[in-house]
Amino acid sequence: MSAEDQTEHASQLTVGMAELAVSRDPNATLCSCPLGACLGVVIYDPAVKIGGLLHSLLPSSSIAPARAIDRPGMFLDTGLTAMLERAKELGAKTENLQVFVVGGAQIMDESTAFNIGTRNYAALKEVLAQLGLPIYAEDVGGRPNRTVQINLATGDVRVKYSGQARMKSLCKPSTIT
């Protein structure tokens, strides 16, 4: 079952590769699977406590448009669009959205031209600029695999590095008054 098909009442919702989830359930925590070169993009509207998580593999749907229709979360452009649309349907306001980014590791050596993590991050920044959405906080690049999670009740976004027992807070939760 994909994360999109799970109910909003799950206390911990795991978002797999090429998936996305959006919820307004204050009891929910959205969690990614490990992110290597993939990007975990979290959105959160603190005014209404609606959040989403996208686990995107590739930067642009232009390489496989038919695949993007079936699995929009596979690509940053279509996944982000689908996640934002769902968040708005639930009541989130674009002007309130905070964007958090985790992942984009360089999993191959530095000399290779196939650095998908860097390409993913560059594509994300371009799409966000077109939408007028700034990145609120990020933990990208480097070599480690990591996971990300957001608690929808508090807006706390946490990151865990592979091989480490504890999660660290990516940002302090904030509210819009």
Determine contact, residues 4/20, Cβ cutoff 8 Å. Answer: yes
The catalytic position among 31, 33, 38, 171 is: 38
Q: What are the CA-CA distances from residue 32 to residues 60, 72, 116 (Å)?
A: 20, 16, 18
Q: With respect to residue 177, please indicate whether it lies within any of the assigned structural domains.
A: no
Residues 80-96 have pLDDT tens digits of 999 999 999 999 999 99
Cβ-based burial of 6 (10 A; exposed 0-12, middle 13-18, buried ≥19)? middle
Q: With respect to residue 12, please indicate whether it lies within any of the assigned structural domains.
A: yes
Please compute the mean of the pLDDT values over residues 3-16 and round it to a whole number.
Answer: 66
Q: With respect to residue 116, please indicate whether it lies within any of the assigned structural domains.
A: yes
How far is Cα 69 from Cα 58, in angstroms, rounded to an integer?
14
Q: With respect to residue 86, please indicate whether it lies within any of the assigned structural domains.
A: yes
Q: How many structural domains compose the chain?
A: 1
Q: With respect to residue 46, please indicate whether it lies within any of the assigned structural domains.
A: yes
Q: Is the pLDDT of residue 67 over 60?
A: yes
> The domain containing residue 36 runs over which residues?
3-169
* Residue 60: CATH number of its domain: 3.30.1330.200
Per-residue tokens: 72:
């929009």
Q: With respect to residue 174, please indicate whether it lies within any of the assigned structural domains.
A: no
Helix (H, G, I), strand (E, B) or coil at 101: strand
Q: With respect to residue 106, please indicate whether it lies within any of the assigned structural domains.
A: yes
The yes-or-no answer on residue 38 being catalytic is yes
Please compute the mean of the pLDDT values over residues 36-59 and round it to a whole number.
Answer: 97
Determine contact, residues 25/90, Cβ cutoff 8 Å. Answer: no
Q: Please list the residues that pair with 57 across neighbouring strands.
A: none
Q: With respect to residue 176, please indicate whether it lies within any of the assigned structural domains.
A: no
Residues 132-157 have pLDDT tens digits of 999 999 999 998 899 999 999 999 99
**Model pLDDT, residue 171:** 74
